């Protein structure tokens, strides 16, 4: 618990110092003797409150759902979502409440990953306790209790020098820097032994003839059987190409919806309706594009970068189920959203097979053609 609390308090402290250096007028030292009363109360209350939340969400609830699903990532997402929704009313208005839900969802996923990776709650408890104490005693920015006798008073224009959504992947990196195997296995799909035994043949990268996986050369064309996993940079560039292409499609779609709506309503524009229809159709197009094309191994970006998505154990084309899981988990891989994909880049860079979280859960890999 002290390890988790110390790490997170140090990271938040560094972010506060950097923020004060960048914008010194927004941070004011406001110490008064009642601070010690606040500190004592915070240590007592948050040690109980935060520990209870971790025992309930990352302990009982995560294990209970895990016993039903038998896949760690499902209870991780469900418990993080429930944990986040409970913080909606911590915001001062609807917009800040939604922002609080998003930030707490990322925070909950981070604590869940730590719990699953270490198979214990203590580090996550320490992080959670330190987080609440810091936001109460060090800076008076809780938005719940109003003005508190904290060490520092911050203005409305203040922002952390290192945002929290960047600090959380850094925390994961520090906690698991020498335990990557434990972190990786929590996102693995639990395959049956019989299914693994059936995957003894892989297609040749040259002629795609099925060849025993222990072979060195293809029995059909004589090509050396080597599989080279796509690098993190190559995959990132492929995704960027696909994303730019999809954005172009979104733009055309928006223009078409506007013209159609003007035609129906004789020149009048209903902006809320247009926005709603455009967002819904864009989400559908986004998932159809990636799920359908990756099921057939290639998207446009992957085709340009000469890489393809295959099943992890036999290197065959992936199923629709695998493609669906892989792409739905972009919600996790794109954390932190203002700096999208940092979590996926960390996982891919450290994984022996260059797998992001979606690959680990779906049982897929991306290889060079």
Domain boundaries, the chain: 2-185, 192-225, 227-368
Quote the pLDDT of residue 88: 85
* pTM of full prediction above 0.75: no
Q: Is the pLDDT of residue 227 over 80?
A: no
- Residue 108 tokens, joined: 């909950």
Query: What is the per-residue pLDDT for 47?
Result: 93
Lookup: tokens for 174: 């520090």
Q: Interior CA angle at 201 toward 224 and 211, to 5°?
A: 40
DSSP state letters, 248-309: HHHHHHHHHHHHHHHHHTTT---HHHHHHHHHHHHHHHHHHHHHHHHHTT--HHHHHHTEEE
H/E segment holding residue 153 = strand 152-154
* Stated length of the chain: 369
- Residue 150's pLDDT is 84
Contact 129, 51 (CB under 8 A): yes
pLDDT digits (tens, 9 = 90+) for 150-173: 888 776 555 555 667 788 888 988
pLDDT confidence bin for 2, thresholds 50/70/90 = very high
pLDDT tens figures, 64-106: 998 888 778 889 999 999 999 988 887 777 787 888 888 899 9
pLDDT over threshold 80, residue 25: no
Q: What are the DSSP calls for 307-322, one per residue?
A: EEEEETTT-PPPPHHH
Distance separating alpha carbons of residues 112 and 308, to the nearest angstrom: 31
CA separation for the pair 211, 224 (Å, rounded)? 11
In the DSSP assignment, the letter for residue 366 is E
Rounded Cα gap, residues 231 and 354, in angstroms: 7
Contact 7, 125 (CB under 8 A): no
Backbone angles phi, psi at 203, to 5 degrees: -75, 140
């Amino acid at each position: 618990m002290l390890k988790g609390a110390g790490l997170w308090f140090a990271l938040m402290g560094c972010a506060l110092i950097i923020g004060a250096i960048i914008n010194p007028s927004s941070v004011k030292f406001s110490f008064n003797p009642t601070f010690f009363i606040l500190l004592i109360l915070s240590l007592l209350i948050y040690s109980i409150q935060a520990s209870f939340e971790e025992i309930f969400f990352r302990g009982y609830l995560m294990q209970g759902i895990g016993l039903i699903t038998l896949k760690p990532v499902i209870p991780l997402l469900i418990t993080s979502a429930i944990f986040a929704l409970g913080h909606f009313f911590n915001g001062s208005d609807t917009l800040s409440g939604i922002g609080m839900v998003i930030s707490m969802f990322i925070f909950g996923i981070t604590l869940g990953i730590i719990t699953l990776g270490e198979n214990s709650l203590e580090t996550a408890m320490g992080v959670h306790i330190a987080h609440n104490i810091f936001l109460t005693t060090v800076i008076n920015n809780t938005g719940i209790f109003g003005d508190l006798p904290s060490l520092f008073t911050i203005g409305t224009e203040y922002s952390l020098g290192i945002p929290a959504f960047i600090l959380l992947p850094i925390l994961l990196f520090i906690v698991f820097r020498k335990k990557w195997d434990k972190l990786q296995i929590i996102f693995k799909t639990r395959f049956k032994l019989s299914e693994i035994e059936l995957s003894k043949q892989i297609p040749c990268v040259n002629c795609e003839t099925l060849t025993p996986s222990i072979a060195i050369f293809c029995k059909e064309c004589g090509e050396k059987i080597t599989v080279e996993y796509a690098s993190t940079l190559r995959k990132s560039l492929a995704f960027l190409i696909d994303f730019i292409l999809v954005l172009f499609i979104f733009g055309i779609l928006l223009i078409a919806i506007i013209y159609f709506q003007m035609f129906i309503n004789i020149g009048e524009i209903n902006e809320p309706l247009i926005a709603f229809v455009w967002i819904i159709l864009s989400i559908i197009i986004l998932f159809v594009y990636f799920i359908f094309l990756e099921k057939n191994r290639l998207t446009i970006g992957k085709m340009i970068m000469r890489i393809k998505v295959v099943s992890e154990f036999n290197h065959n084309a992936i199923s629709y189920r695998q493609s669906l899981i892989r792409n739905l988990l972009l919600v996790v891989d794109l954390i932190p959203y203002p700096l999208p994909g940092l979590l996926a880049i960390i996982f891919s860079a450290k994984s022996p097979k260059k797998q992001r979280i979606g690959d680990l859960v779906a049982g897929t890999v991306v290889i060079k053609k």
